[in-house]
């Protein structure tokens, strides 16, 4: 075939005609391209070898275990940590099929297969029965295989399991409490209710959880409940733990309830349990109505006894029927001039059934004979209140004929019968209620103990973290001193990153330690002159103040009961922040003052700094929360959370008012009644 001939080249979809001359030109071009590609490939090989060397060095020094496989599951490489976890040397494993060396369980096998098939990063947790450990695994597939990173999370899984068991235990107690019970957050949001709450209130959990508690409080009680809610967070003893109130049923009906409220130190929550006493109230009102009616009848018929004797007998019979059919114990006792109760003059059937005495035996006894010995001293006090108010309600303990003790709630009225003062006492057995109260108190104590254990754990955990952190920082600094400048620029930069991160984490751990050391009780408080505290803080910050040209103005500060070092930390943190977050072109001016209110001192620290947006005013008091980068403003994000914890430990509260680019004012309070003048 000559040069002018045509070459027929048969292709899959037909015949293409190409001149031989043109074909030769194309071949020459391809040879030039090939030569270029070969040159570039040699350069790539050289570069790739260096990159692989660097990567291998990094993989050997990372804290995680690492190994690499091809698509046939042959082990291509692994680092020293992987050798430790596998308990085999690298030489024993290279080239071996992974699943032959380590028979897989189903979760691990499935995730490896999925990563290989989908060609995407897979992260999962799995348990290895061989090593009896839990691992967190990361599989990164590539074209010819996959790289796997994993580390031991057994300790974390144990902690998660223990925490889950603890939560389940307390949730079981909460859900099985026989009274309607709910958890109220600091902002009065209902975060949790039990099944009994659903039954009594008519609301489903999903309807009520997340709503504000005031939405189900009767209008006339909202002010009182909000006042108690706030007082309880300032001083747990400032508000009653038990009282009667009115709640609104889902159907709109008002329920009379007897409430018991305890404060959970964690996040200032309240645990609220109540009994529906609507029916009891109705019964009491009905009984009171009959009592009043009876008094009127007795007084009137006494004056007209001979004329209306028959009507009186009928009335007495009606009264006795009601008297004996009542669910509560009812007794009539004659009172002397000082109001001290004498012998019983009448008792109903419940009295005999409950205490075991016959009616005849009762007629020779006084109330003191049925009161537990340890409660006898309360009789004169209750008698005095009865004479003064004509009605008194109190709790006492009755003793049965066999010696059994029964707690009762007594409503005692005094009236005149046949010219003599007579006491009508209605005694309700509250054994079940007392048991509920004891169970609730035990639950609160258990929750408090749990919080204390969590605080101890945070202290121990953060303390133990410092040792490995010091080791990381020390060895990295040693590497930097010995080898800085001997590796490339990236390696030096990496060492700087590690050292910097180590020191930042050290500061965070120290902050966490300090946070965990702030106790929640007020034991060990002494009088503290806050003027002296501020003088020391200004002296401690002298260099920072002079460096920034800051002006500090302050009014006289009072003496309070507290912890000197912790109160110094409050002022030093707030004053330091006021200087740190200054505007670049204006010298900081900081005004510190104190104002006395009825029950507390209110302190303010005002600056002319950069200010805070409203949406971040709560977030700044949360531990480890920062609004700025480390490059802009250094810090750990712990300071204000420690300040808040200290102020709350001292029975106060803290908040901020601010306007961006104008400045901020931090306010906090301390109780006056804690001061020993």
Chain CA centroid to CA 211, Å: 18
Between the CA of residue 629 and those of 519, 544, 584, 625, 633, what are the distances in Å? Answer: 31, 21, 17, 11, 6
Beta carbons within 8 Å of 72's beta carbon, 6+ residues apart: 97
**What is the pLDDT, as a whole number, of residue 2?**
40
**What is the pLDDT, as a whole number, of residue 676?**
44
pLDDT of residue 446 exceeding 80, the answer is no
pLDDT, mean over the chain = 78
Strand, coil or helix: 74: strand
Note the CATH number of domain 520-669. Answer: 3.30.565.10
Q: Which one, of 367, 360, 446, lies nearest residue 170 by Cα?
A: 446
The number of helices, as runs of H, and strands, as runs of E, in the chain is: 20, 24
**What is the pLDDT, as a whole number, of residue 17?**
44
pLDDT of residue 666 exceeding 90, the answer is yes
**φ, ψ of residue 561 in degrees (nearest 5):** -85, 125
- Distance CA(557)–CA(593), nearest Å, equals 7
Q: What is the pTM of this model?
A: 0.35
Average pLDDT over residues 402-424: 85
**What is the pLDDT, as a whole number, of residue 14?**
38
- Distance CA(656)–CA(665), nearest Å, equals 6
**What is the pLDDT, as a whole number, of residue 343?**
87
CB 209 within 8 A of CB 197: no
Count the helix, strand and coil residues of the chain and give each as a percent rounded to the nearest 5: 50, 25, 25
CB atoms within 10 A of CB 606: 18
- Hey, which residues does 344 pair with through a beta bridge? 333
At 264-316, the pLDDT tens digits run 765 678 888 888 888 888 888 888 888 888 777 777 766 666 665 665 566 66
- E strand or H helix that includes residue 561: strand 559-562
CB 228 within 8 A of CB 239: yes
Give the confidence band of 582 by pLDDT, cuts at 50, 70, 90. Answer: confident
Least confident of 80-94, 182-196, 253-267, 560-574: 253-267
Q: What pairing do the DSSP bridges indicate for beta strands 589-596 and 551-554?
A: parallel
CB 372 within 8 A of CB 399: yes
At 461-509, the pLDDT tens digits run 555 655 666 667 676 777 667 766 666 767 667 666 666 666 666 665 6
Strand, coil or helix: 277: coil
At 219-233, the pLDDT tens digits run 898 888 888 888 887
Longest pairwise C-alpha distance within the chain = 158
- Distance CA(419)–CA(303), nearest Å, equals 10
Q: Considering only the top CATH level, what class is 176-280?
A: alpha beta
**What is the pLDDT, as a whole number, of residue 315?**
61
- Distance CA(311)–CA(301), nearest Å, equals 9
Does 61-155 match 520-669 in CATH topology?
no
**φ, ψ of residue 230 in degrees (nearest 5):** -70, -45
Domain extents for the chain? 61-155, 176-280, 316-430, 520-669
pLDDT of residue 87 exceeding 80, the answer is yes
SS3 letters across 50-62: HHHHHHHHHHHHC
- Distance CA(456)–CA(613), nearest Å, equals 35
**What is the pLDDT, as a whole number, of residue 21?**
56
CB 668 within 8 A of CB 652: yes
CB 48 within 8 A of CB 40: no
**Helix ranges (DSSP H) in 329-414:** 349-355, 359-363, 378-389
| Better-scored residue on pLDDT, 506 or 42 | 506
**What is the pLDDT, as a whole number, of residue 500?**
63
* Tokens coding 18: 């190409």
**What is the pLDDT, as a whole number, of residue 377?**
86
- Distance CA(336)–CA(342), nearest Å, equals 7
Give the confidence band of 16 by pLDDT, cuts at 50, 70, 90. Answer: very low
Q: 616-631: string of b/e by CB count within 10 Å (b at 16+)?
A: eeeebbebeeeeeeee
| Better-scored residue on pLDDT, 308 or 205 | 205
pLDDT of residue 135 exceeding 70, the answer is yes
**What is the pLDDT, as a whole number, of residue 13?**
33
Least confident of 395-404, 451-460, 647-656: 451-460
Count the residues in the chain.
677
- Distance CA(215)–CA(226), nearest Å, equals 12
Q: Considering only the top CATH level, what class is 316-430?
A: alpha beta
- Distance CA(200)–CA(276), nearest Å, equals 8
- Distance CA(555)–CA(606), nearest Å, equals 12
pLDDT of residue 15 exceeding 70, the answer is no
Strand, coil or helix: 405: strand
CATH superfamily of 61-155: PAS domain (3.30.450.20)
- Distance CA(417)–CA(333), nearest Å, equals 11
- Distance CA(401)–CA(398), nearest Å, equals 10
pLDDT of residue 259 exceeding 70, the answer is yes
């Amino acid at each position: 075939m000559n040069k002018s001939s045509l070459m027929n080249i048969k292709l899959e979809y037909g015949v293409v005609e190409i001149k031989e001359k043109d074909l030769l030109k194309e071949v020459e071009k391809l040879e030039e391209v090939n030569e270029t590609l070969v040159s570039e490939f040699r350069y790539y090989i050289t570069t790739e070898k260096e990159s692989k060397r660097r990567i291998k060095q990094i993989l050997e020094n990372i804290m995680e275990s690492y190994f690499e496989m091809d698509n046939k599951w042959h082990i291509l490489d692994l680092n020293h940590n992987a050798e430790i976890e596998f308990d085999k040397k690298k030489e024993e494993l290279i080239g071996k099929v992974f699943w032959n060396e380590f028979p897989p369980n189903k979760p691990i096998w499935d995730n490896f297969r999925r990563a290989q098939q989908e060609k995407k990063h897979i992260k999962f947790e799995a348990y290895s029965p061989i090593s009896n450990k839990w691992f967190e695994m990361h599989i990164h597939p590539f074209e010819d295989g996959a790289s796997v990173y994993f580390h031991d999370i057994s300790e974390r899984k144990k902690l998660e399991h223990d925490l889950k068991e603890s939560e389940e235990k307390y949730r079981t107690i909460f859900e099985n409490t026989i009274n309607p019970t709910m958890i109220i957050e600091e902002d009065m949001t209902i975060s949790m209710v039990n099944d009994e709450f659903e039954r009594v209130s008519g609301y489903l959990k999903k309807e009520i959880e997340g709503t504000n508690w005031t939405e189900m409080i009767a209008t006339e009680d909202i002010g009182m409940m909000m006042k108690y809610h706030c007082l309880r967070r300032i001083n747990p003893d400032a508000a009653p733990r038990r009282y009667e109130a009115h709640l609104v049923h889902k159907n709109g009906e008002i329920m009379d309830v007897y409430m018991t409220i305890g404060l959970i130190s964690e996040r200032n929550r309240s645990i609220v349990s109540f009994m529906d006493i609507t029916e009891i109230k109705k019964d009491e009102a009905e009984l009171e109505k009959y009592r009043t009616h009876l008094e009127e009848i007795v007084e009137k018929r006494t004056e007209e006894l001979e004329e209306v004797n028959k009507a009186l007998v009928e009335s007495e019979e009606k009264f006795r029927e009601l008297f004996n059919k009542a669910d509560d114990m009812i007794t009539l006792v004659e009172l002397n001039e000082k109001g001290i109760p004498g012998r019983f003059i009448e008792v109903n059937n419940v009295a005999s059934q409950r205490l075991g005495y016959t009616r005849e035996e009762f007629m020779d006894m006084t109330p003191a004979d049925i009161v537990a010995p340890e409660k006898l001293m309360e009789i004169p006090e209750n008698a005095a209140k009865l004479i003064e108010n004509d009605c008194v309600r109190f709790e006492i303990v009755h003793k049965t004929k066999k010696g059994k003790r029964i707690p009762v709630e007594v409503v005692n009225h005094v009236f005149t019968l046949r010219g003599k003062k007579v006491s009508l006492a209605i005694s309700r057995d509250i054994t079940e209620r007392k048991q509920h109260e004891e169970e609730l108190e035990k639950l609160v104590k258990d929750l408090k103990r749990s919080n204390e254990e969590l605080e101890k754990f945070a202290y121990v955990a953060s303390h133990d973290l410092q040792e490995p952190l010091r080791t990381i920082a020390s060895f990295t600094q040693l590497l930097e001193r010995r080898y800085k400048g001997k590796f490339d620029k990236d390696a030096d930069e990496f060492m700087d990153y590690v050292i910097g991160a180590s020191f930042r984490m050290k500061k965070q751990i120290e902050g966490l330690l300090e946070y965990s050391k702030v106790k929640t009780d007020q034991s060990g408080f002494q009088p503290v002159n806050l003027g002296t505290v501020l003088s020391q803080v200004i002296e401690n910050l002298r260099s920072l103040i002079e460096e920034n040209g800051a002006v500090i103005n302050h009014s006289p500060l009072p003496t309070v009961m507290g912890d000197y070092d912790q109160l110094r930390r409050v002022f030093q943190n707030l004053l330091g922040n006021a200087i740190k977050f200054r505007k670049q072109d204006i010298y900081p001016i900081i005004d510190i003052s104190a104002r006395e209110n009825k029950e507390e001192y209110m302190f303010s620290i005002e600056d002319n700094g950069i200010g805070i947006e409203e949406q971040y005013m709560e977030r700044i008091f949360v531990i480890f929360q920062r609004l700025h980068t480390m490059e802009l403003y250094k810090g750990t994000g712990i300071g204000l959370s420690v300040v808040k914890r200290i102020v709350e430990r001292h029975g106060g509260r803290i908040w901020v008012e601010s306007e961006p680019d104008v400045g901020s004012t931090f306010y906090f309070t301390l109780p006056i009644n804690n001061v020993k003048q």
